[in-house]
Amino acid sequence: MKKLKRSGRLVDMTNFMLQNPHKLISLTHFSERYQSAKSSISEDLAIIKEIFEGQSIGSLLTIPGASGGVKYIPMVNKKEAEKIISSLCTTLAVSDRILPGGYLYMMDILGSPKLMNEVGRLFAGFFANHKIDAIMTVATKGIPIAYAVGHYLDVPVSIVRRDHRVTEGSMVSINYVSGSSKRIQTMSLARRSLEAGANVLIIDDFMKAGGTVRGMMDLLEEFQANVIGIGVLVESEEAEERLVDDYISIARLDKVDVKGKEISVEPGNFIRLLKTELKEDVYESSTNE
Amino acid sequence: MKKLKRSGRLVDMTNFMLQNPHKLISLTHFSERYQSAKSSISEDLAIIKEIFEGQSIGSLLTIPGASGGVKYIPMVNKKEAEKIISSLCTTLAVSDRILPGGYLYMMDILGSPKLMNEVGRLFAGFFANHKIDAIMTVATKGIPIAYAVGHYLDVPVSIVRRDHRVTEGSMVSINYVSGSSKRIQTMSLARRSLEAGANVLIIDDFMKAGGTVRGMMDLLEEFQANVIGIGVLVESEEAEERLVDDYISIARLDKVDVKGKEISVEPGNFIRLLKTELKEDVYESSTNE
């Protein structure tokens, strides 16, 4: 492309970084793209790094050496995460989403690409320092969250199906017991959609007793894949005994009072666990307002 | 936030614009955010506009006047669209994706958030000048494309379901005839998930005879909603007669030779129709390489 001044480079590089999270980009790539000296590129990157980290967009990792370069890693600090999560809890607590049977209508939240991206950024930031090869979710409602996480971690998404109208070639199926309804059910994943030995992050929208997540874990064993983590948007406290222990939740549904039309929602364990995941400086880094 | 120099403003504004497509942002917002004069903000925006349009990221629309401001509109020019589409066709033509029955395995494409974003940007750019309130798709495989389009158009996604394991409150259901299998089927959409009179863009991953899309159109009538457009990733030419005429396709599947293990794929009607949608200067604007 034609030679650009610093101002133009900053705009183009910012866009390029945001479109390519977790990708190592060599300084040579940029210096050739803009026909500029690597020294100027490094100065550009220092400016971008300062803004990205100051605004809790993410951190810019610079790897020195011939094989080195720069990598944009989506991140959230404590303050930013708390802001997103508390506004989500407020939205979740709106009483008119109570459905017969104490279910909650959530498509207004799950149907918003903007909200899904925020949730995706939370999980991607949380697992930024883990080696993850793929996201796994189960159709249907987990899919939007899974793709948002997959985008920010730059990894593919594997979609587990519960129906049988499937045209994905040979499938691996397992039976599982839905923890809440105690019914035996089947879930399947296309053989080709996940490599053996992959490191997988399980994502879902809602977890009650955890039967579905448990099923996905069993399914992953069939692929000799490893569960790196489990992230759910909402966990329900009603479950007397969980089939899954080690998971991250954005929000916790304490009680749904169908008669009194009241929903009590609290932040999940995300913030508490984030502290143990992130380096102190990233965790506490203050977002400029 | 603390006062920023132009270099810092450009990085922060670029990120802000990219996160908020189709949103009108007042110059006041920026001048207060950075404690800078509107004149400097206007200069910043001129720089961003030049890069966004030069790199086919989109166009930056400036609305003058008190109620005015700036709006980032994701766009693709002809050259960029052709690049994305031809590489998609090449990927689609890889013979080992042929499944029994002549179906194609597509989860490697549909499972990639990056590819889905590119496809989403194509459709969002195509419909950039239409008033669209919501995206509608049918579970499962259309969902990732629908959310990518929804992100770039900044509108919510409504997911039509074919199963009955649904906890979304009162549903509107219709019967439809799958064009290829000629079987009667049912699809449902949560009453709350779409407002009456909404202008809707229908998105799906694959269209053969068009029975599913036809069904979604009938379902939209139940909501007194308007179909603004129909976008499919892949259309199959095998269908002897289509139930849908007016649609946009990224790729066209001409022939799947199961015995000879050959797939012939061609670009769909997207590029041809794009010319009639975009102003000449946007359509032809050359992407700097």
Q: What is the CATH number of the domain that holds B62?
A: 1.10.10.10
CB-CB neighbors (< 8 A) of A108 in chain B: 156, 192-193
Alpha-carbon gap: B165 to the closest alpha carbon of chain A (Å) = 10
In a domain, A249, yes or no: yes
Q: Which residue of B has its CA nearest to A3?
A: B288
Alpha-carbon gap: B125 to the closest alpha carbon of chain A (Å) = 17
What would the mean pLDDT of A117-139 be, rounded to a whole number?
97
Q: Among B50, B74, B98, which residue terminates a domain?
A: B74
- A265: which strand partners? A253
Asked if pLDDT for residue B156 goes beyond 80, the answer is: yes
In a domain, A164, yes or no: yes
Q: Which residue of A has its CA nearest to B1?
A: A289
Spatial distance between the Cα atoms of B229 and B82, rounded to a whole number of angstroms: 21
What would the mean pLDDT of B88-103 be, rounded to a whole number?
93
Percent of chain B with pLDDT strictly greater than 70: 96
Which of B4, B6, B7, B44 to probe by mutation at the A interface, max A CB count within 10 Å?
B7
Spatial distance between the Cα atoms of B278 and B262, rounded to a whole number of angstroms: 35
In a domain, B15, yes or no: yes
Tens-digit pLDDT profile for residues B250-274:
999 999 999 999 999 999 999 999 9
In a domain, A265, yes or no: yes
Q: Which residue of A has its CA nearest to B98?
A: A169
Indicate whether this complex's ipTM tops 0.90. Answer: yes
Spatial distance between the Cα atoms of B59 and A81, rounded to a whole number of angstroms: 31
CB-CB neighbors (< 8 A) of A161 in chain B: 140
Q: Which residue of A has its CA nearest to B149?
A: A113
Q: What is the model's pLDDT at position B189?
A: 96
Is A22 exposed, middle or buried (CB count within 10 Å of its CB: 0-12, 13-18, 19+)?
Answer: middle
Asked if pLDDT for residue B114 goes beyond 90, the answer is: yes
Per-residue pLDDT band for A281 (boundaries 50, 70, 90) equals confident
Other residues' Cβ atoms within 10 Å of the Cβ of residue B57: 25
- Does B137 lie in the same domain as B48? no
- Does B100 lie in the same domain as B134? yes
Cβ contact, residue pair A10, B15, below 8 Å: no
Q: What is the model's pLDDT at position A147?
A: 98
CB-CB neighbors (< 8 A) of B165 in chain A: 162
CB-CB neighbors (< 8 A) of B124 in chain A: none
Tens-digit pLDDT profile for residues B14-43:
999 999 999 999 999 999 999 999 999 999
Cβ contact, residue pair A12, B51, below 8 Å: yes
What would the mean pLDDT of A135-139 be, rounded to a whole number?
97
- Does A86 lie in the same domain as A147? yes
Spatial distance between the Cα atoms of B66 and B63, rounded to a whole number of angstroms: 9
Average pLDDT over chain B, rounded to an integer: 93
**Nearest Cβ partner of B147 from A19, A144, A168?**
A144
CB-CB neighbors (< 8 A) of A8 in chain B: 47, 50-51
- Does A87 lie in the same domain as A128? yes
Alpha-carbon gap: A1 to the closest alpha carbon of chain B (Å) = 4
Cβ contact, residue pair A150, B113, below 8 Å: yes
Q: What is the model's pLDDT at position B100?
A: 86
Q: What is the model's pLDDT at position A176?
A: 93
- Does B69 lie in the same domain as B147? no
- Does A84 lie in the same domain as A68? no
Q: What is the model's pLDDT at position B239?
A: 63
What would the mean pLDDT of A139-147 be, rounded to a whole number?
97
Cβ contact, residue pair B51, A162, below 8 Å: no
Q: What is the model's pLDDT at position B254?
A: 92
Spatial distance between the Cα atoms of A12 and B11, rounded to a whole number of angstroms: 9
Cβ contact, residue pair A157, B101, below 8 Å: no
Cβ contact, residue pair B168, A7, below 8 Å: no
Tens-digit pLDDT profile for residues B40-80:
999 999 999 999 999 999 999 999 888 889 999 999 999 99
Cβ contact, residue pair A99, B167, below 8 Å: yes
Alpha-carbon gap: B115 to the closest alpha carbon of chain A (Å) = 10
Cβ contact, residue pair A1, B114, below 8 Å: no
More confidently predicted of B164 and B256: B256
In a domain, A1, yes or no: no
Which of A16, A20, A40, A51 to probe by mutation at the B interface, max B CB count within 10 Å?
A51
Tell me which of A45-49, A87-91, A183-187, B136-140 is least confident: A183-187
Domain tally, chain A: 2
- Does A248 lie in the same domain as A106? yes
Q: What is the model's pLDDT at position A81?
A: 96
Alpha-carbon gap: B5 to the closest alpha carbon of chain A (Å) = 10
**Nearest Cβ partner of A289 from B1, B162, B193?**
B1
Cβ contact, residue pair A190, B107, below 8 Å: yes
- Does B46 lie in the same domain as B168? no
- Does B44 lie in the same domain as B112? no
Cβ contact, residue pair A105, B190, below 8 Å: yes
What would the mean pLDDT of B190-218 be, rounded to a whole number?
95
CB-CB neighbors (< 8 A) of B195 in chain A: none
Asked if pLDDT for residue A289 goes beyond 70, the answer is: no
Q: Among B52, B74, B96, which residue terminates a domain?
A: B74
**Nearest Cβ partner of B147 from A51, A105, A116?**
A116
Q: What is the model's pLDDT at position A163?
A: 78
Q: Among B57, B74, B91, which residue terminates a domain?
A: B74
Interface A:B, Cβ pairs < 8 A: 157
Tens-digit pLDDT profile for residues A181-201:
778 999 999 999 999 999 999
Spatial distance between the Cα atoms of A206 and B97, rounded to a whole number of angstroms: 33
Asked if pLDDT for residue B288 goes beyond 60, the answer is: no
Q: What is the model's pLDDT at position A279?
A: 85
Spatial distance between the Cα atoms of A217 and B51, rounded to a whole number of angstroms: 46
CB-CB neighbors (< 8 A) of B289 in chain A: 1
CB-CB neighbors (< 8 A) of B47 in chain A: 7-8, 11
More confidently predicted of A240 and B84: B84
Which CATH number do you get for residue A141?
Answer: 3.40.50.2020
Q: Which residue of B has its CA nearest to A112?
A: B156
- Does A38 lie in the same domain as A67? yes
Q: What is the model's pLDDT at position A192?
A: 94
Q: What is the model's pLDDT at position B101?
A: 82
**Nearest Cβ partner of A111 from B107, B154, B156?**
B156
Cβ contact, residue pair B107, A151, below 8 Å: no
What would the mean pLDDT of A164-174 be, rounded to a whole number?
83
- Does A84 lie in the same domain as A69? no
Of the segments A207-211, B10-14, B35-39, B280-284, which one has the largest average pLDDT value? B10-14
Cβ contact, residue pair B159, A101, below 8 Å: no
Spatial distance between the Cα atoms of A98 and A219, rounded to a whole number of angstroms: 32
Residue A20's SS3 state is: coil
Write the single-letter amino acid at B159: I
Percent of chain B with pLDDT strictly greater than 90: 82
Domain that includes residue A193, residue range: 78-287
Cβ contact, residue pair A50, B8, below 8 Å: yes
For the sheet containing A69-74, what is the strand order? Answer: A24-25, A69-74, A58-63
Cβ contact, residue pair B168, A107, below 8 Å: yes
- Does A86 lie in the same domain as A66? no
